[in-house]
Chains A and B, each alone.
Chain A
């Protein structure tokens, strides 16, 4: 009974938050609603005995990914808002038909009776040990591919976000800023220069005093 109540509450929260994401005009409200949606989904994962995935969902998604969204929304400021321009009415209608069609197809397509009884699984079903055993055993290739993909994405993000210098014409020397060579001055010459300047000042001051005396 508690299971059913938790499921109903979580599904109401998930669907309402998803609708807020899609229909809200404020990007901040959209991002925060997506966090609520992701936490409701983590509740589903706990109900499905996938504890490790629920923790990963909260930490990775609702934590890291959404923080990045919020940072970019704050960086863009007003430019992140929706452009106010009327779209043709048939576009909204087509979107409604397509999305409601896919959703209805699956909702009414799943056979109610055949899915009712899943197998009884032990408490260790979604535990980190079990996930690690499959991830580092049978699905090792997927694990390695995932790490390579994350590395590529990190490098790509850095490359995309780097501010490059403005491109120059073909006749101008060098496509990038040329550093001016630092003028090398030996220590001896600089000391001599300082001494001569100091002498000039001091002798000048002395001659002033002599003139005054």
Chain B
């Protein structure tokens, strides 16, 4: 057995599917953010696999940018979670419908 790039991409796809399942089924915004992190990291793994396969650095640079995006997203997302918890008390993404109307 020779571990080629397709194995890394397969693991990345499975991780993406797990993260997607979490986003669909969980209701706590904290767990939603964790699931989004899993999906972002799965994309990073695919980017780096193809970067290795092509022998070019572009994919790694893009993966670094994705890491920065994920860090920013966590900062803003956790800020929103804390603000909502302070204001409303309960954290349930199905009940946070203040912006709907």
Contacts and interface: CB of A to CB of B under 8 A. Distances in A.
Given A22-B35, A139-B61, A48 B1 contact: no
Interface of A is mostly: helix
Interface in B18-35: 18-22, 24-28, 30-31, 33-35
B8 A44 contact: yes
Contacts of B65: 142, 146
Nearest to A163: B86
Contacts, number: 249
A184 interface: no
Interface string A5-38: 0010001001100110110000100110010011
Nearest to A119: B55
Contact of B24 (A18, A98, A146): A98
Interface of A: 3-4, 7, 11, 14-15, 18-19, 21-22, 27, 30-31, 34, 37-38, 41, 44-45, 47-50, 52-53, 56-57, 60-61, 64-65, 68-69, 72-73, 75-76, 79-83, 85, 87, 91-92, 94-96, 98-100, 102-107, 110-112, 115-119, 121, 125-126, 130-131, 133-135, 139, 142, 146, 149-150, 152-154, 156-157, 159-161, 163
Interface of B: 1-22, 24-28, 30-31, 33-35, 37-38, 41, 44-45, 48-49, 51-55, 57-58, 60-65, 67-76, 78-83, 85-86, 89-92
